[in-house]
Amino acid sequence: MITVSALTKQYGQRIAVDDITFEVAAGRVTGFVGPNGAGKSTTMRMMVGLTRPDRGDVRYHGVSYTRLPHPARVVGSVLDARCMHPGRTARNHLRAAAALSKIPSRRVEDVLHEVGLDSAADQRAGGFSLGMRQRLALAGALLGEPEVLLLDEPSNGLDPDGIRWLRNSLIEFARRGGTVFVSSHLIAELAMFADDLVVVGGGKLLAAEPVATTLARGESTVVVRTPHTAELARLLNQHGIAADISGDRVCSHGTSTAFVSELVFEQRIQVVEITGTSRSLEEILLDLTGASAEFATTRISSNA
Amino acid sequence: MTSTTHSTPLGPTSPRPLPTPTPTGPPPTVPMTRDRDDDLAAVPAAVRSEWIKLRSLRSTPAILCLTIVIGVLLSWILATFVKTDPNTHEVFTVGQTFIFSTWLSTVLAIVMGTLLFTSEVHHGTLANAITSQPARWVIVAAKAMVGAGFGLVMGIAGMVAGFTGAMLGGLETGNTSGMTATALWGLLLTTLAPVFGLGVGMIIRHSAAAASTVLVWALVLENLIKSLAPPKLTRLMPFSAANGLLGIQSAGDTPATRAVALSRVHDALLFSGYSLAAIAVGTVLLYRRDTN
């Protein structure tokens, strides 16, 4: 388990990370999301001792990162896949890392095989594609067979097959008791495998909760086509559900398809069609973080 | 922790799944933490890591080859075209000229020392090292040891090359009584030089800026200061100490500077002091600065 307590970091007048507290549970995949400039990378750097927090700390089973006897055997991290010397081969890159952490050199061959870089092991990293660099960085994180994986945008540069491999591997890693903390801008992708979410914006913690709870924030809509629109609308209002009538459709908010179906069945109201929609995780998170986005986009103008 | 193999789930070219972490259980009630003994015990592993980094780059043998080429060429040119000492007008001997290229070897070794650190900053690999070894002084110590070792090799290679170039140029062996002492002092210098360079690199943190600072100081500024400042002060400068260790004179040397020159022991202590001071300041900055 990772415990982040009151983590704060200020650069001059700018507060990059403002009193963030959350826990990352073992056996689960925790997504770390937020807009650009939210403080995600700064937080992750503080979690592995690269940046010293002004206040607060990060502990792994009660021990701060810098006090872990063998950090690489507890925490495997990939914060920037470009962090490798272009003149060094993949094998030597990993050998140097393994030597530093007193990891047997045979692990180098194991992790190269696990990430699919066997055939490129003796190529210099300068000739690698971004996807290959990402795989090599992941191999470095796995050298110590850690309990925790901290990954910043790990799917950058990976092809669809690689993204699927990464997703399945992280799920399996968590299923077997490992702790996964992964930041990503690909919210739709994250929604497919994250169990929990930590959402930051403007340096502040906006939410730390299971994905199911976040999804429940999104108001669902049920649309019913019926010849008895007024009767259905009145019935829904009696149950505290807001309903709008538009032609032969009744649109209700904040309820579920199952509830409306049961209601019309009990009251024997004729229904032609019933459709439920809910907001995507991406839409919910964009609403949640929208006010704290540092770099807001606008529509690209056209000269046509 | 053991690795469990799995069948490949995603097709013939798909990589294997991630290894199995330690089975879950209650966290330790008294967590283990690292202490100073752990850090000391980590130094040999860090040295091995730094050696792998150094020997795995093509620039390393290139620097060594450059040292040898410079050594041979410089001595051969002196033997073939210059032939006599401009100060004493005596014919050069092997015993005198073999050490001349060591000054250039020293500058190369300093630049190599700066790159031990600045290259890692530039390519982001310093962050990888620090996440694996949070005790940053261990990384510094390892880099200093590996750099010093390579500096010693450069010194030996440079002197052998200088000796060879002088012989090829047809010089007489001459008085060799002081050769051993000069060689040993010279090797001390080339051993310390990368440590000095490492410290400079840790302070400046940029490859080109660090290397050019060293070169400009060594080739221009120190000689300029020598022409302006009192000799008793200028003899305390780092490259004055280096020249003293090698027993050679620089372009800025005058009878006044030669009259107050320090002994080789004092020059060794002085250059060692500069090296250690640069490392100390660099290490403090390494702890204080965030690493990206």
Give the three-class secondary structure for B13. coil
pLDDT surpasses 80 at B215:
yes
* pLDDT (0 to 100) of residue B178: 83
Nearest in space to B46 (alpha carbons), one of B129, B156, B151, B113: B129
Give the Cβ contact number of residue B25 at 10 Å: 8
Number of domains in chain A: 2
Residues A160 and A251 in one domain: no
- The span from the CA of A123 to the CA of A132, in Å, is 11
Compute the mean pLDDT over every residue in chain B, rounded to the nearest whole number.
Answer: 85
Residue A254, C-beta contacts closer than 8 angstroms, at least 6 positions apart: A219, A220, A241, A242
Hey, are the CB atoms on A161 and B31 less than 8 Å from each other? no
Q: How confident is the model over B77-125, as pLDDT tens digits? A: 988 888 887 777 888 888 888 888 898 899 999 999 999 999 999 999 9
Identify all chain B residues contacting A106, using CB atoms and an 8 Å cutoff: none
Residues A131 and A91 in one domain: yes
Helix axes B100-123, B179-204, angle to 10 degrees: 20
Residues A62 and A171 in one domain: yes
List the structure tokens of A250: 């009744």
Identify all chain A residues contacting B15, using CB atoms and an 8 Å cutoff: 113-117, 135, 165
CATH number (domain holding residue A139): 3.40.50.300
Let me know: does A206 contact A292? Beta carbons within 8 Å: yes
Range of the domain at A246: 219-278
pLDDT surpasses 60 at A36:
yes
Give the Cβ contact number of residue B22 at 10 Å: 15
Nearest CA in chain B to A68: B33
Identify all chain A residues contacting B10, using CB atoms and an 8 Å cutoff: 161, 164-165, 168
Residue A26 lies in a domain: yes
Hey, are the CB atoms on B34 and A116 less than 8 Å from each other? no
Give the Cβ contact number of residue B124 at 10 Å: 17
Residues A91 and A116 in one domain: yes
Hey, are the CB atoms on A85 and B53 less than 8 Å from each other? yes
Compute the mean pLDDT over every residue in chain A, rounded to the nearest whole number.
Answer: 89
Residue A118 lies in a domain: yes
- A95-99, A112-116, B280-284: range with lowest mean pLDDT: A112-116
Hey, are the CB atoms on B290 and A50 less than 8 Å from each other? yes
Residue A294 lies in a domain: no
Residues A150 and A39 in one domain: yes
Give the Cβ contact number of residue A234 at 10 Å: 11
* pLDDT (0 to 100) of residue B28: 44
Identify all chain B residues contacting A109, using CB atoms and an 8 Å cutoff: none
Residues A45 and A176 in one domain: yes
State the count of interchain CB pairs (< 8 A) between A and B: 160
Residues A67 and A25 in one domain: yes
pLDDT surpasses 60 at A293:
no
* pLDDT (0 to 100) of residue A291: 62
- B15-19, B95-99, B212-216, B226-230: range with lowest mean pLDDT: B15-19
pLDDT surpasses 90 at A162:
no
Q: How confident is the model over B150-186, as pLDDT tens digits? A: 999 999 999 999 999 999 988 888 877 888 899 999 9
Residue A297 lies in a domain: no
Please, which pLDDT band fits residue A301 given cuts at 50, 70 and 90? low
Residue A289 lies in a domain: no
Q: Among A72, A92, A114, whose Cβ lies nearest the Cβ of B18?
A: A114
Identify all chain A residues contacting B50, using CB atoms and an 8 Å cutoff: 96
Please, which pLDDT band fits residue A300 given cuts at 50, 70 and 90? low
Residue A17, C-beta contacts closer than 8 angstroms, at least 6 positions apart: A7, A8, A9, A39, A42, A43, A46, A53, A203
Residue B208, C-beta contacts closer than 8 angstroms, at least 6 positions apart: none
Residues A101 and A242 in one domain: no
Residue B149, C-beta contacts closer than 8 angstroms, at least 6 positions apart: B191
Question: Domain boundary residue among A215, A250, A265?
Answer: A215
List the structure tokens of B102: 């060591």
* pLDDT (0 to 100) of residue B138: 97
Say if A256 is an interface residue toward chain B (CB within 8 Å). Answer: no
* pLDDT (0 to 100) of residue A218: 67
Hey, are the CB atoms on A169 and B45 less than 8 Å from each other? no
Residues A76 and A96 in one domain: yes
* pLDDT (0 to 100) of residue A220: 76
Residue A269 lies in a domain: yes
Mean pLDDT on A130-143: 92
ipTM exceeding 0.85? no
Q: How confident is the model over B1-33, as pLDDT tens digits? A: 333 333 333 223 334 445 455 444 444 444 578
Note the helical H segments in chain B.
Answer: 36-55, 59-77, 94-97, 100-123, 125-132, 136-168, 179-204, 207-216, 222-228, 231-234, 238-246, 255-259, 264-288
Hey, are the CB atoms on A99 and B49 less than 8 Å from each other? yes
Residue A299 lies in a domain: no
Hey, are the CB atoms on A102 and B42 less than 8 Å from each other? yes
Mean pLDDT on A25-41: 92
Nearest CA in chain A to B39: A69
CA angle A133, A134, A136 (to 5 degrees): 60
Mean pLDDT: which of A143-147, A154-158, A165-169 is highest?
A143-147
Q: Can you give the residue ranges of every domain in chain B?
A: 42-287
